[in-house]
Amino acid sequence: MSFIVLTEKDIEALVKAVKLGEEIKPSQQAKRDVFKEYGISGTYKDRILTAIYYDIWRRIGIIDRIASEITNIPNIAILDPWLRAALRVAIEILVFERFIKEARYRDSKDLFVKYFKRRIAKVLSDNTHPYVGAYFWEVVDKIAAYKWIPKTLSEKWEYRYMVSQLIINKLLNLVGVDETRKILKEFNKVYPISIRVNILKSSVEEVEEELRKNGVKPERGKYVPTILKFKGPYDFDNSSLFKEGKIVIQEEASAMASIVLGPKPGETVVDLCAAPGGKTEHMGELMNNEGVIYAFDIDELRIKRMKELLSRTGIKIVKIFKEDARKAPDILGEEIADKVLLDAPCSSSGTIMKNQELRWRITQEKIDELTQLQFELLETAIKLAKKGGRILYTTCSLFREENEDVIQKILTKYRGRLRLVSLNGPFDQGFIPGTMRAWPHRHGTYGFFYALLEVL
């Protein structure tokens, strides 16, 4: 890859795309719109600039830390968005981009410094304030001279695996060096598409046959018999299997949750954080559309997706409440449920291979906030469950404080009123005997935690 293909206009396009990438979700759309505007889309430059753009977002945590160090501003979120974007692009290209070092021309880096000073400083002046352009002009030289040298294991791994030091250090404390390395490698794998067959409308064999007719080679899940996995892409919008509700998009560890809870036909079930409804729908299948599921969520868009899913799959026993789940006992009454599912809001740290932005977005402050909410929701579930009723607590987090620590706290507070029902597979035992964990590096699934409780 040679620097010679890139111009000042190309660098300007990158800065604008990164700036808009903070405002438009998904960020890919920002790139597409800007590259089209600048005449880059479909040209020989598209591949190079796209790679740089995605590299910026993959290592955004490292880039922002360097920007803070160079500018002496602890949190660059306070900067003008144009300046922030320009700093990010400059650091990516001048500090990290390999193609500069491998270019045939010795002065490749100097040329990019000129590009930034001449074109981008003017862009900043035109869109913000002349002082901002002048400030950036001076900072570019500092960026060009900066040498990034990782000092600790977590800093080395942060760069190698593109995951924040917070996540790495938590995993190191949880499972040690060898297993942390394996988990981080797993985060950078591309997982296959995972679907679950709707047993009320089809069979695994029928779906397998239809997929093969369309050139797809499915493999059955190792742990959930109705799960099929295959390499993408797959056009769900034009798939008759999807449109007719014969298949549901769901990852295997997630699908295990409803099976562990085991709702039966005719029972009363409460799903406390239900949308977008994959587990709700699955429970409806297991109940053979007999009984009732009260589904709570506060996200209007996710509720809309849940309604579409339930309609498509033919599940008719769900009553949806757009309410904070903590209000469920006031709405439904107490001790009314045979089963309660609490798939709690969490850091989602076990799904980084799918949700790339989590690599840098997870903070300790947010985890602390979530653990408080998780405990409050568990207390809500206890109020809802009948004596002898069961509560399944799940998260897609790897962190102990969102999983075993929450369960230990609730068991301690409700000693004599609550017992842990031991889970003995198919995944591994958690850090509290009787709980269960699915691990990305051991099971090839998203990270998932399960604790089954019974009200006494």
What's the pLDDT tens digit per position in 209-254?
999 999 999 999 999 999 999 998 899 989 999 999 999 999 999 9
Mean pLDDT of the chain: 94
Long-range contacts of 302-309 (CB under 8 A, 24+ apart): 302/275, 302/276, 303/275, 305/275, 305/276, 305/277, 306/274, 306/275, 306/276, 306/277, 306/280, 307/277, 309/248, 309/276, 309/277, 309/278, 309/281
Which is nearest to 427 in space by CA: 405, 450, 410? Answer: 450
Q: One of 260, 396, 407, 418 is an active-site residue; which one?
A: 396
Per CATH, domain 252-455 is 3.40.50.150: yes
Angle at 276 between CA 253 and CA 224, to 5 degrees: 25
- State which CATH number among 1.20.120.330, 1.10.940.10, 3.30.420.40, 3.40.50.1820 fits the domain covering 3-145: 1.10.940.10
Amino acid identity of residue 206, one-letter, is: E
For the chain, the structural domain boundaries read 3-145, 153-187, 193-249, 252-455
**Which pTM was predicted?**
0.86
| Equal CATH topology for 3-145 and 252-455 | no
Range with top average pLDDT, 46-50, 92-96, 153-157, 379-383: 379-383
Contact (Cβ atoms closer than 8 angstroms) between residue 231 and residue 260: no
Examine the residue annotation and report whether 396 is marked as an active-site residue of this protein: yes
Per-residue confidence band for 47, with pLDDT thresholds at 50, 70 and 90: confident
Phi, psi (degrees; rounded to nearest 5) at 254: -70, -40
Q: What is the pLDDT of residue 3?
A: 43
Amino acid identity of residue 295, one-letter, is: A
Cα separation, 273 vs 377, whole angstroms: 9
Topology given in CATH for the domain delimited by 193-249: Alpha-Beta Plaits (3.30.70)
Q: What is the pLDDT of residue 411?
A: 98
Percent pLDDT > 70 in the chain is 97
pLDDT by residue (tens digit) across 298-326? 999 999 999 999 999 999 999 999 999 99
Cα separation, 222 vs 128, whole angstroms: 55
Per-residue confidence band for 421, with pLDDT thresholds at 50, 70 and 90: very high
Residue 84 tokens, joined? 């922030």
